[in-house]
Chains A and B, each alone.
Chain A
Amino acid sequence: MSDGAASFASILFPKPTQSTEAESASMPASSADLDFDQIVSAVVGGRDEYRLHPFFRLPLDSVDAVVYRQEVFADLDGTPLSDGVDTFANRMRSVRRMLTSAEEMHHRYQRRSWLLTAAVTYVEAVTGLLEDLEKAPISARALVRLRERLCRYVGSDEFEALRQDVVAAREAISEVRYTLLFYARVIVVRRFESEADYGAEISSFFARFRQRDGTDHHLDLAGRPVMDRMERQVLDRVVALFPEAFAALDRFCEAHPAWLDEVVVRFDREVQFYLAFLEVVRSLRASGLPVCYPELSSSSKAEVVSSTYDLALALRFLSQPDGPGPGTVVRNDYSLSGPERIIVVTGPNHGGKTTFARAFGQLHWLAALGCPVPGSRARLFLADRVLCHFGRGEILADMRGRLEDDLVRMREILSQASGASVVILNEIFFSTTVRDAVVLSRAILGTLSQLDALAVCVTFLDELASFDHKTVSMVAGVDAADPTVRTFKLERRPADGRAYAVILAERHGLSHDRVRERLAP
């Protein structure tokens, strides 16, 4: 743990050097099999300008680094501070856009006017963020350090001078109002003299006919941001009519040629990692799916997880309004204790086995990024990497080629795996005879068992379920009342023996008691 006075550099990493590692890391091969790349795309969607992908590539190597992020997540999760940071980000985006606009202007006062608006927004962004940090009950180390850093910055003479000049110039400019008289081939420009608003008079005269709020009838005449010759001529005359206001603008521009702070700019990018993920968390919770902060250990491999699910699947359902809805995503519990390391999953086809395997991999990956995970509760081991091998499921003519390929990939995976890794094996050796598959699979499981790595092995080979004392057997469930109905849940349900129709009615919430409940005031 660092001391409280440590200087602030990054909201993502306790040690500044780690961020450069992340920039250069590449997405591990397993991300596609686990649908992790889909998750990342969904999370960072719409935030391209922040280039967030790199932050999802590098698992953190210490529980402390994970906790550093979890603290920030907790302080931003559904709190007013998160709205505050959102506002800050929106303002910073405006600042960037305005600075770009300024570059494009030809007229001196058009350019300066954009610079002023950008500076106004920047000052609001920084002071607003500091205010929000001071109001919020923050406990994250990263945010406490950020607050201290911003406090010093806002208190500095330089920032104070910027603020004052900005305010003075903006007030002067906002008071400018002028009149134009169009008649024949002449336009007369002069200072506004409180003439009455005729448009308002028209509106109130005809208001009695109003049945409901109408549409806005203003034509959008925004046009080009750069002024044309006629507009420039008007502006020149306005400058002549209001010399004091434009003098204030000149004063601001000459005294403050550059004002963006490096730490603020970096925070603006990195904090999007949290906002992006929390946006996803919000929509998951809104559709009734639990999300929690895992408790991580770098030594104990005892795991307890409740109601976890395939996040990629849930996000796909979320994005399809006509689909089955994210609420229908199946949730699973599992736990590993004592020597248990390997979950062997068997059961009917399309029974939710692969989905569970993906969920298991995603869980460890997300946890190692410091992110919240799908589930209502999770105690997890901090994995150094998540490796996986997904068999292709189909039987090809060239069985030997496929098997060879399988074995080569398996060797690669095992060579990367350590005792701290998570390994997902899905329908491996599908492309050989059952006898061979059993022999090969037992060899692989033996290696994993020796490594002491955490693993999920999805297989159609029932005998693997009781491989050794490290394996735990889980079976994709079927409905006890109707064995053809799959529950997609990895557990069994006791039979209740009632008539099928009545069970159906109950399932639709139409039993006497359920209807009473539903209609209760």
Chain B
Amino acid sequence: MKPHLLFAEDDFHPEDPLPPGSQSLVADLGLAAVLEAMGGGDDYLRGVATTVTLHSLTDPSVITYRQAVVSDCLEHREIVARIHQLAEGAIAEEKRVWGVFTNVPSGRLHRAVGVLARFTAYLRQLRTIADGSTTRFDSQGMKNLVDTLRSELSDEYLAGMDRHLELLRFRSGVLSSAGLGPGAKASDWRIHLSAEPTLNWWRRFRLWWRRSDALRIVIRPGEDDLASELRGHAINEAAAALSEAMEHVLSFFAALRFELGFYLAAANLHDRLVQLDQPTCRPTLTPEGATTLQAHDLYDAGLVLRSGTGVVTNDLDADGRSLILVTGANQGGKSTFLRALGLAQVMMQAGLFAPASSFSAPVRRGVFTHYQREEISEADLGKLEEELTRMSQVVDWLGPDSLVLLNESFSSTNDAEGAAIASGLIEALLESQVAVACVTHSFELADHFARAGRNDVAFLRAERLEDGTRTFRIVPEPPSPASHAEDLYRRIFGRPPTGPPGDGQDHKEIARPNPADGSVQAGGSRSGHLPAGD
């Protein structure tokens, strides 16, 4: 009896370790804002959203399974929320039942009986909700859940539960058996019901008393503690079995709470984006063998949520391209574009909607990031060494059909060396069927691929108008040698950089990359600088 809302056949294992690189992924893509919106102020929901989203799917059929459940939950949100509330309520109920002496079997048994008795009320309510929603849902996931609740929580079953809980109060004595363990101590205890259920316990007991093969021990005053210790052994099996039963029911409620939680979190996110007037879409999964990679009105959902306003959207037409290479002006929206692309991919692979008016992409075997970072390592590792160490780790995680997002990788060494390392690496990745999206200020690197005349590369540039204005749009265009850092310099300093701009080399000296576009913007308020809407 499992919710199976996240996988049609399998359980979700929240305790499984997150895929490697998850921490970087969250930081580099600005995923925190998205997860925050999913939580909607509830830490538990935020945790569920984080775990499920980061355990990226690779099976297209599971993605479409979840997409359907997401639609159902957006449609019938109140039913979903009621079931979720019940699960939450049952879990809270368990915590309210105090156990006295739960370090001895009788106390433990007593508590388990009490908790399960309260659970039966919640189970009956679940049944009622299920009975009332038989025709509401369209998704296989929700239909299955309703069917499961109705068949597994039948009237007969619920009545049986009441009967067991009554028997386990042992109102008429305890019957148990044991064998001889090491040192002749009683072992292998078992608990029994009488073989003569029609007799009442007192008459059965008298029957026993008279039997010649039955020997008696009369508990004398002062032996009560010893006797109850022995009785504890006798009911330990029952206490263990019922405590386990309690744990199982609890784990069922927990699974229900968790799995529904993800869809409630999806609805929260959807609400926020609708509120901000942003489009969302159900992503189209590119079938195996095809190479469609298309996006319309793609935007950085994290940026929208952080800034509380619409931002520039972009289109992408990159069918058959396994390398997307974005060059162009600093502060021109390159990193924002890369984040938008990464986020859309990650959300798609969690079964969520995508932040775009349409999004078609192949399902990737893992999404990874390598972003140039501020110095974060210990002092004995040079900056380049730190970058290389991280990249080597990423290479360990990569495989065919995975996607890696590179943002200004290897810019901690000079342009020529950085480009030499990056071009060799990227070529090797492409040859190994790894898809790459790369943002770089390095003309050298971009030019390397431009000259190679490859048809599997999409060249994009941060748009810059004749007068030097940035539109923050990313447009298809081959790389050009200047990186326009002087524009930025001019904007911040209010005057051109010293000396007339010469060839591209000079510009590159000034245009050291910023690890995350926007993070060093003057003025502190990000949104203030962001042109709204499209």
CB contact between A209 and one of B217, B239, B245, B425 (< 8 Å): that residue? B245
Question: Which residues in chain A, 168-191, are within 8 Å of chain B measured between CB atoms?
Answer: 173-174, 176-191
CB of A229 closer than 8 Å to a CB of B: yes
Type the 1/0 row for B162-177, where 1 means its CB is closer than 8 Å to any CB of A.
0010001000111111
A93–B234 alpha-carbon span in the complex (Å): 31
- Beyond A203-B244, A227-B185, A515-B432, is A219–B105 a contact (Cβ under 8 Å)? yes
What residues of A have a CB within 8 angstroms of the CB of B137 in the complex?
none
CB of A152 closer than 8 Å to a CB of B: no
Number of B residues near A (Cβ < 8 Å) is 97
Q: Is the CB of A208 within 8 A of B1?
A: yes
> Taking the nearest CB of chain B, how far is it from the CB of A294, in angstroms?
37
> Taking the nearest CB of chain B, how far is it from the CB of A480, in angstroms?
19
> Taking the nearest CB of chain A, how far is it from the CB of B170, in angstroms?
9
> Taking the nearest CB of chain A, how far is it from the CB of B442, in angstroms?
14
Question: Which residues in chain A, 481-521, are within 8 Å of chain B measured between CB atoms?
Answer: 499, 501-502, 504-505, 508-513, 515-516, 518-521
CB contact between B255 and one of A185, A211, A509 (< 8 Å): that residue? A211
What residues of A have a CB within 8 angstroms of the CB of B251 in the complex?
209-212, 214
Number of A residues near B (Cβ < 8 Å) is 83
CB of A328 closer than 8 Å to a CB of B: no
Q: Is the CB of B217 within 8 A of A234?
A: yes
A501–B428 alpha-carbon span in the complex (Å): 18
What residues of A have a CB within 8 angstroms of the CB of B103 in the complex?
219
CB contact between B238 and one of A202, A208, A237 (< 8 Å): that residue? A202
What residues of A have a CB within 8 angstroms of the CB of B384 in the complex?
501, 504
> Taking the nearest CB of chain A, how far is it from the CB of B223, in angstroms?
6
A179–B215 alpha-carbon span in the complex (Å): 11
B202 nearest CB neighbor, chain A only: A183
CB of B429 closer than 8 Å to a CB of A: yes
Binds A, one of B58-66, B308-316, B343-351, B388-396: B388-396
> Taking the nearest CB of chain A, how far is it from the CB of B228, in angstroms?
9
CB of A253 closer than 8 Å to a CB of B: no
What residues of B have a CB within 8 angstroms of the CB of A219 in the complex?
103-105, 108, 232, 236, 239-240
- Beyond A504-B388, A505-B388, A519-B399, is A221–B233 a contact (Cβ under 8 Å)? yes
Q: Is the CB of B180 within 8 A of A113?
A: yes
Type the 1/0 row for A95-110, where 1 means its CB is closer than 8 Å to any CB of B.
0001001000101011
Question: Which residues in chain B, 212-256, are within 8 Å of chain A measured between CB atoms?
Answer: 213-219, 223, 226-227, 229-234, 236-245, 247-249, 251-252, 254-255
Query: Total number of A-B contacts with CB less than 8 angstroms?
Result: 273
B390 nearest CB neighbor, chain A only: A508
CB of B211 closer than 8 Å to a CB of A: yes
Q: Is the CB of B396 within 8 A of A515?
A: no
Q: Is the CB of B388 within 8 A of A510?
A: yes
CB of B27 closer than 8 Å to a CB of A: no
A203–B164 alpha-carbon span in the complex (Å): 11
CB of A215 closer than 8 Å to a CB of B: yes
A238–B425 alpha-carbon span in the complex (Å): 78
CB contact between B217 and one of A178, A223, A237 (< 8 Å): that residue? A237
Identify the interface centre among B191, B209, B241, B425: most chain A CB within 10 Å of its CB: B241
CB of B424 closer than 8 Å to a CB of A: yes
CB of A254 closer than 8 Å to a CB of B: no
A216–B241 alpha-carbon span in the complex (Å): 9
B394 nearest CB neighbor, chain A only: A510
A76–B164 alpha-carbon span in the complex (Å): 56
CB of B138 closer than 8 Å to a CB of A: no
Binds B, one of A135-143, A193-201, A393-401: A193-201
Q: Is the CB of B201 within 8 A of A230?
A: no
CB of A350 closer than 8 Å to a CB of B: no
Q: Is the CB of A211 within 8 A of B248?
A: yes
Q: Is the CB of A178 within 8 A of B219?
A: no
Binds A, one of B80-88, B413-421, B446-454: B413-421
Q: Is the CB of B244 within 8 A of A217?
A: yes
What residues of B have a CB within 8 angstroms of the CB of A198 in the complex?
190-193, 238
Q: Is the CB of A193 within 8 A of B424?
A: no
Q: Is the CB of B428 within 8 A of A205?
A: no
CB of A300 closer than 8 Å to a CB of B: no
A105–B182 alpha-carbon span in the complex (Å): 12
Q: Is the CB of B215 within 8 A of A202?
A: no
A510–B391 alpha-carbon span in the complex (Å): 8
Question: Which residues in chain B, 129-172, are within 8 Å of chain A measured between CB atoms?
Answer: 152, 160-161, 164, 168, 172
Q: Is the CB of A508 within 8 A of B388?
A: yes
- Beyond A187-B227, A219-B103, A504-B385, is A207–B248 a contact (Cβ under 8 Å)? yes
What residues of B have a CB within 8 angstroms of the CB of A221 in the complex?
105, 232-233, 236
CB of A235 closer than 8 Å to a CB of B: yes
B13 nearest CB neighbor, chain A only: A212
Query: Can you name 24 A-B residue pairings with CB atoms under 8 Å?
Result: A110-B183, A176-B179, A182-B176, A182-B230, A183-B172, A183-B173, A187-B216, A190-B208, A190-B213, A195-B195, A200-B241, A211-B2, A211-B248, A211-B252, A218-B240, A221-B236, A227-B183, A230-B219, A499-B420, A501-B421, A504-B388, A508-B392, A510-B392, A519-B395
Beyond A173-B180, A203-B244, A209-B1, list 4 extra A-B contacts (CB 8 Å): A197-B192, A206-B245, A211-B254, A219-B232
Name the 10 nearest CB pairs between A and B, nearest first: A206-B245, A183-B173, A515-B428, A512-B424, A519-B432, A199-B237, A230-B226, A217-B243, A209-B248, A195-B192
